[in-house]
Amino acid sequence: MTWDDEYDVVVAGSGAGAMTGALAAAASGLRTAVLEKTKVLGGTSAYSGAAIWLPGTRVQERAGIADSTESARTYLRALLGDDGAAHREAFLETAPELVEFLEKDPALEFEWRAFPDYFAAPGRLDMGRSFVPLDLPADRLGDLAGLVRPPVDRDRAGRGHAASRPLAQGRALIGRLLLALTATGNGVVRTETPLTGLIVADGRVAGVRAGPLRLRAARGVLLAAGGFEASAGLRAARGVPGGADQTMAPDGANTGDAIEAAARIGASTGLLDQAWFCPGLRTPDGLPAFTLGFRGGLIVDGSGRRFANESLPYDQMGRRMAAAEGPFHLIWDARSGGLPAISVPPLAADGQLASGAWVRADTLAGLAAKTGLPAGTLAETVERFNGFAEKGVDDDFHRGEDPYDRYFSGGRPCVVAVGEPPYYAAEVVLSDLGTKGGLRTDPDGRVLDGSDRPIPGLYAAGNTSASFTGPVYPGPGIPIGSAMAFAYRAVQDIRRNHT
């Protein structure tokens, strides 16, 4: 067999899971290559807030948070039952060890950040257990800074990082992992090098194809190249609600290449109709802005009625949208002092109004005419909602009763009357942060075939794999935390079992 380049470990993708796996491999002396399809590293992980849900670690301990592996187990078990129990236990066991490993590296620094868990269930922490990376001054990365995907607003506008600003959130996480990987001397990153296939020899995955290149992976291949959120065809075939043009993943890059490549050599898949859902506000370029933390306003369906607690955690709200009939509109008024929610990217009212993505009117009837909503129903809905605001109880959807609902309004009520003109409406679409179905794995990240046997040499993590959380999004940082944990476990398996 002839190879263009030879490595011990080849990692496809460069999100948080991929980079964690690559660092773990390179730090243990394995020659490691990260293959990234686009010009920049980080994918959706770089756009993210980089909340990391890895419970029971030294980060929570340092912050004096009453987190423990046991309470996290109670919480996950309450939400997921014993489905995926072996993965849950592997995840819980790995979290403290992974964070200890990462924090040994001076490039990796984390701190706890308040952000409530998403469900009222035993073991929940009302102010959450997730943590974030510290901002990273760009000069610590030097020339490597240009390799990290910029924040979503600048990226979509084709502008790079603001040179004077530190890398924050997801960029800080990817930048820090890149810094640590580079410092090992054993890791290379190859951008614009998409994985296109897997090479099997002597009954095991021996390498990958990347277009015309054949790259050897003597010890293992880790697939962590995102989901298939940007593939309209795969979404339709698998019944994922939403659309490839409404996902928050960047550049249309996550088209399920790694999942398909593994399926071609006999890998099995699961959970394929699932995503990490969220509401998205339409922006002038037609792309959505991930919107969360509704501290005012109300959301109506195509009939002009409310259909859910608007302040629900975003995945739960997305699922309510998928079950309802659109188009959906957020309605708010002058009293809110601007959009009563957080959007990523941040949206400027002037641009939104000028483009028609938002409309404004002096009366609710005027707003109904501009949005096509039935005027009578809209007026009734707002009147009923305002009654709830006045008495401080949302009889219909119990908005404001959960600590998560009030977190974004600083503990104040989030059911606030809408009655001061002008009124505003913005179209809300069903968006997602990526699909969460994919390759079935065992608790060590080994990809399973149709008979539940591991395919030698092949591993998967992140949205390339079927999430152990099933259709549930337990808390902030689960996508990234679980991607990192299972990528790390995959590399431990490679180290143990493949020479």
Ligand X SMILES: Cc1cc2nc3c(=O)[nH]c(=O)nc-3n(C[C@H](O)[C@H](O)[C@H](O)COP(=O)(O)OP(=O)(O)OC[C@H]3O[C@@H](n4cnc5c(N)ncnc54)[C@H](O)[C@@H]3O)c2cc1C
Q: Provide, rounded to whole angstroms, the least separation between the CB of residue 201 and ligand X.
A: 21
- 288-327 footprint of ligand X as x/- string (CB under 6 A): --x-------------------------------------
Q: Provide, rounded to whole angstroms, the least separation between the CB of residue 254 and ligand X.
A: 5
Q: Which of 479, 485, 486, 488 binds ligand X (CB under 6 A)?
A: 479
> By CB under 6 A, what part of segment 446-465 binds ligand X?
462-463
- Contact flag: residue 194 with ligand X (CB under 6 A): yes
> By CB under 6 A, what part of segment 345-384 binds ligand X?
none
Residue closer to ligand X, measured from CB, 248 or 367: 248
Q: Which stretch binds ligand X (CB under 6 A): 98-106, 183-191, 297-305, 470-478?
A: 470-478
> By CB under 6 A, what part of segment 4-63 binds ligand X?
12-18, 35-38, 42-45, 47-51
Residue closer to ligand X, measured from CB, 16 or 272: 16
Q: Which of 175, 434, 457, 475 binds ligand X (CB under 6 A)?
A: 434
Q: Provide, rounded to whole angstroms, the least separation between the CB of residue 415 and ligand X.
A: 26
Q: Which stretch binds ligand X (CB under 6 A): 160-168, 181-189, 247-255, 443-451?
A: 247-255
Q: How far apart are CA 152 and CA 159, in angstroms?
A: 10
Residue closer to ligand X, measured from CB, 147 or 416: 147
Q: Provide, rounded to whole angstroms, the least separation between the CB of residue 271 and ligand X.
A: 13
Residue closer to ligand X, measured from CB, 130 or 381: 130
Q: Which of 10, 25, 80, 248 binds ligand X (CB under 6 A)?
A: 248
Residue closer to ligand X, measured from CB, 51 or 491: 51
Residue closer to ligand X, measured from CB, 247 or 381: 247
Residues that bind ligand X (CB under 6 A): 12-18, 35-38, 42-45, 47-51, 194-195, 224-226, 248-249, 253-254, 257-258, 276, 290, 344, 433-434, 462-463, 476-480, 483
